[in-house]
Structures are given as C-alpha cells and as structure tokens.
Amino acid sequence: MLAFLGLLVGALVAWVLKPSVPQDVTRYVAMVVVAAIDASFGGIRSWLEQTFNDRIFLISFLLNAFVAVALVWVGDQLATDVATAVVVVFGIRIFQNVAAIRRRVFGG
C-alpha cells in the first residue's frame, strides 16, 4: 500500500511540476522507463506467486535500468540503434509477465 501511495504522490508531483527532459537524454530515460515497467510487472507477478522478495525486486529494477542504458550508450558510441533491440526484449518480457499475471488472476 505504501508503494502505491508513493507512486501516486510521484505521479502527482510530476503532473504539477511538468518536468522536461533534455533531448540528449530522452533515449536513455525511455530505456529506464521500459526497464522500470518490466521490473514492476515482474514484481507484481512474483507477488501473486507469493515469491516476492524486495531485495530481488530492487536489484532487478536497478540492474535492468543500468544494463538498458549501458546498451543504448554503447550503441550510440558505435552509431548503431541498439535501443530498438532493448525495447523488443523488454517488451517480450513485459508481455510474458502480463500473461502470467492474467493467468494467475483469471485462471487458465
């Protein structure tokens, strides 16, 4: 409940302050957001499966974000679009987690 409240407060603060992201770092912020969504759905899935561990969730959250940003940075250094590959991989993981959550909640 505390995490949900923190999420709501953070969303409200962002809505009121309307922060802007410099154009140079938008690709990196996008990767962090996708990694955060992946970790969040993974956390929900593990909570529903009663295997949730806050330390594993935090490490997954931070490590996924770091690896995603690092891959995009390396791609930028090599003048290659690695961001698409990162989004595809995280997208697959997100949909797998959502499918597992749906099966857990609605059966099947």
- Quick one: pLDDT band at residue 1, thresholds 50, 70, 90? low
Q: Are the CB atoms for 10 and 17 separated by under 8 Å?
A: no
Which tops the pLDDT comparison, 3 or 59? 59
Q: What is the mean pLDDT of residues 34-59?
A: 92
Give the pLDDT score at 45. Answer: 94
Range of lowest pLDDT (4-8, 14-18, 28-32, 34-38): 4-8
Does the pLDDT at position 59 exceed 70? yes
**pLDDT score, position 12:** 93
Helix %, strand %, coil % of the chain (to 5): 85, 0, 15
User: Phi/psi zone of residue 70: left (φ > 0), alpha (ψ -120 to 50 degrees), beta?
Assistant: alpha
